[in-house]
Structure 1
Amino acid sequence: MRFPPPLLTGLLLSLIVLGATARPLGARLGQARGNTGSETTIELPAGARIQRNLAYGSDPAQVMDVYLPAGAKNAPVIFMVHGGAWRVGDKGAANVVQNKVARWLPRGFIFVSINYRMLPAQDALQQADDVARALAFAQAQAASWGGDRDQFVLMGHSAGAHLVALLAAAPARASALGARRWLGTVSLDSAAIDIVAVMNRRHLPFYDQAFGADPARWQQASPMQMLARGATPLLAVCSSQRRDQPCTQAQAYVDKSNGLGARAALLPQDRTHAQINADLGEPGGYTDAVENFMASLDPGLAQRLGDRASR
């Protein structure tokens, strides 16, 4: 079932994808599509540098930006996947990059932000494969950047959160495309953890565009249904302000994961969908909680983050 009124659908889509802000809708859509300008100029920490538009595939959309700290050596890598309802968004948007780079580059992390093929060219399941290809490429290149190919943390927001959660639930999908196992995954406010449930109730039309009409395809694209033993550790950050209650889906995933002996945790936040992305990296309890999870994944990460795991 779908909401039919086109005007209502467009309004809801803009709110879900971009968050409710005071900026004009046109400007917000422009940023989501990756328009350049002062609003997407990223301020780098001292000594940091960026490698832009490294290609991991033949399509112009299959590119990534790599933010390198000064003197990177065996550096861990945060691998970021932007959101945008599987249709819009860009690796260079300020809300995707700025606070995260400002926080983690000075702590010795490399930050990778990717683009991938989107609707209508590729559905969500095919997009997950692009993320896996990008991950495999980044891992293969990590040493040349001063990074450690075995010290990756996946992170994604909104649609990107769904894509990284799917790979976390079924890492064999990524390994089939050349990726190595990574340390863990941070899913930032996905309302698409249980695709089967989403598609069997009233939902917005962009879900039909992303996941199609085939229930077998829903199953394959659903982190909840694909979750099995061997899943990578996952932190599910969710907004407690949203009417569609993403924390309910996230909690169900966490419960199932822990029941299977895989590791997952829930981090509800009293923030909007957009704030969960943009605010991450700002000093405070939210960023601290995400770093606590990251530190618990590996002693090397804990050391760079201030031995949080031992506190």
Structure 2
Amino acid sequence: MPAPPARRRFLRPALRSASSRFAILGMALALALPAAAGPLRDRIEARRAAQAQGTEAPTDELNGDDGSSAGNAELPAGVVRIADVAYGPDPRQRFDVYRPARGEGAPVLVMVHGGAWRLGDKGARGVVEHKVAHWVPRGFVFVSVNYRLLPQADPLQQAGDVARALAAVQAKAAGWGGDPAKVVLMGHSAGAHLAALLGAAPALAEKAGARPWLGTVALDSAALDVERIMATRHYRFYDAAFGADPAYWRATSPTQALVAGAPPLLLVCSSIRPDQPCAQAHDFARRAQALGVRAEVAEQARSHKQINEELGTPGDYTARVDAFLSSLDAAVAKRLELR
């Protein structure tokens, strides 16, 4: 029987876009699946998380397609893209380089996408588009990194991939006009966890051949304190990532891994998320400061997805990240004063 007109009017906005239809499908399936349907339910939940982050375009919840790629998008004038540079033998061990057509001595931003440690792609628009448009014309090299995902690689192995990518960027940067001594590591969501883990314990990156970098920017990680997450009620995809071993929780927790001598960290967090990532960010910052490590928290009244997608657009948020970058190095600050 058709819905009455008032109900049709109520439902129509919710069903207007493909993303809404897929989100509703995903929620319905997730609620309908029993706990024993673990892998499928985890994949649905992880995909919904990735779509909310902007690391993946709205696609079929079950088909495994990656999101839309910025590789076919028109690049800003004067930006050159070098695609799929290998830093290891696996097809996921690749990164894309966006560099100015001319110039040398450029600071380098290394970006790590999110996706619940299971999904996501280096070319997703939310990961790349506005960041490239903001920083590359100002004389930066921007590198977007892929890494192996669950179930192929667990978060510690993923952090190892990011460390290898960082080492490869430092080794190759001069060939793109970049300065290997002026590298900043950045990540969003699961990628922010991986970046923060390496930033908290740089020895993990040094084992892969990486040299010290200027600083780390973690964009809305809710997994800074993995022990706290796993000991309380949490999303099921955390179980797929971190398992049931408290020793592994500690090994993958940036808060527990933090050591004196770590490079400066900027912790951007959403102040409107119900799981309150800013509480973890402030706890991490207090622990860092007690160790003599510089750590700053930048609360944003933005969604998790907006924190990723809107970085690079004009406004106070991008200016706050630029201020942190400028504070790391005089040459970086000079680039950001050009416009």
| Shared fold, TM over 0.5 | yes
Partner of 2:160: 129
Cα deviation, 1:40-60, whole Å, max 9, x if unaligned, reads 633322121111001000001
Cα deviation, 1:26-49, whole Å, max 9, x if unaligned, reads 26888982455xx76333221211
Match of 1:17 among 50, 53, 56: 50
In structure 2, C-alpha distance between the alignment counterparts of 1:25 and 1:303, rounded to whole Å: 39
In structure 1, C-alpha distance between the alignment counterparts of 2:65 and 2:333, rounded to whole Å: 33
Partner of 1:223: 254
- Determine whether 1:84 maps to 2:115: yes
Partner of 1:42: 73
Say if 1:139 and 1:257 are closer, same or farther in 2 by CA, change over 3 A.
same
CA contact (8 A) 2:183 2:215 kept: yes
Partner of 2:189: 158
In structure 2, C-alpha distance between the alignment counterparts of 1:32 and 1:276, rounded to whole Å: 23
Q: CA deviation at 1:161?
A: 0.3
Match of 1:203 among 213, 227, 234: 234
- Determine whether 1:177 maps to 2:177: no
Match of 2:59 among 3, 9, 26: 26
In structure 2, C-alpha distance between the alignment counterparts of 1:297 and 1:31, rounded to whole Å: 40
Say if 1:148 and 1:192 are closer, same or farther in 2 by CA, change over 3 A.
same
Q: Match of 1:247, as an amino acid?
A: C
In structure 2, C-alpha distance between the alignment counterparts of 1:299 and 1:28, rounded to whole Å: 46
Q: Secondary structure at the match of 1:19?
A: helix
Say if 1:129 and 1:261 are closer, same or farther in 2 by CA, change over 3 A.
same
Partner of 2:30: 7
**Matched-pair identity in %:** 55
Say if 1:63 and 1:224 are closer, same or farther in 2 by CA, change over 3 A.
same
Q: How does 1:69-148 map to 2 (within 5 A)?
A: 69-148=100-179
TM-score normalised per structure 1: 0.91
CA contact (8 A) 2:197 2:257 kept: yes
Larger Rg: 2
Q: Match of 1:26, as an amino acid?
A: T
Say if 1:222 and 1:281 are closer, same or farther in 2 by CA, change over 3 A.
same
In structure 2, C-alpha distance between the alignment counterparts of 1:43 and 1:73, rounded to whole Å: 24
Say if 1:24 and 1:258 are closer, same or farther in 2 by CA, change over 3 A.
closer
Partner of 1:263: 294
In structure 2, C-alpha distance between the alignment counterparts of 1:175 and 1:82, rounded to whole Å: 21
Cα deviation, 1:121-160, whole Å, max 9, x if unaligned, reads 0011110000000000010001111111010011100000
Q: How many residues align?
A: 301
The structure, 1 or 2, with the larger RCO (C-alpha pairs under 8 Å, 6+ apart) is 1
Q: List runs of 5+ in structure 1 lacking aligned partners.
A: none
Match of 2:264 among 214, 217, 233: 233
Q: Secondary structure at the match of 2:137?
A: coil
Say if 1:252 and 1:202 are closer, same or farther in 2 by CA, change over 3 A.
same
Q: Secondary structure at the match of 1:130?
A: helix
Q: CA deviation at 1:201?
A: 0.6
Match of 2:225 among 194, 211, 222: 194
RMSD: 2.3
Cα deviation, 1:159-178, whole Å, max 9, x if unaligned, reads 00000000000001001110
CA contact (8 A) 2:47 2:115 kept: no
Q: Secondary structure at the match of 1:256?
A: helix
- Determine whether 1:304 maps to 2:327: no
CA contact (8 A) 1:239 1:269 kept: yes
Cα deviation, 1:194-232, whole Å, max 9, x if unaligned, reads 001011111112111111211111111000000110111
Q: Match of 1:174, as an amino acid?
A: A
In structure 1, C-alpha distance between the alignment counterparts of 2:124 and 2:61, rounded to whole Å: 10
In structure 2, C-alpha distance between the alignment counterparts of 1:207 and 1:68, rounded to whole Å: 35
Cα deviation, 1:82-103, whole Å, max 9, x if unaligned, reads 0000000000001000000000
In structure 1, C-alpha distance between the alignment counterparts of 2:236 and 2:162, rounded to whole Å: 23
In structure 2, C-alpha distance between the alignment counterparts of 1:166 and 1:307, rounded to whole Å: 32
Q: Secondary structure at the match of 2:288?
A: helix
CA contact (8 A) 2:215 2:264 kept: yes
CA contact (8 A) 2:187 2:218 kept: yes
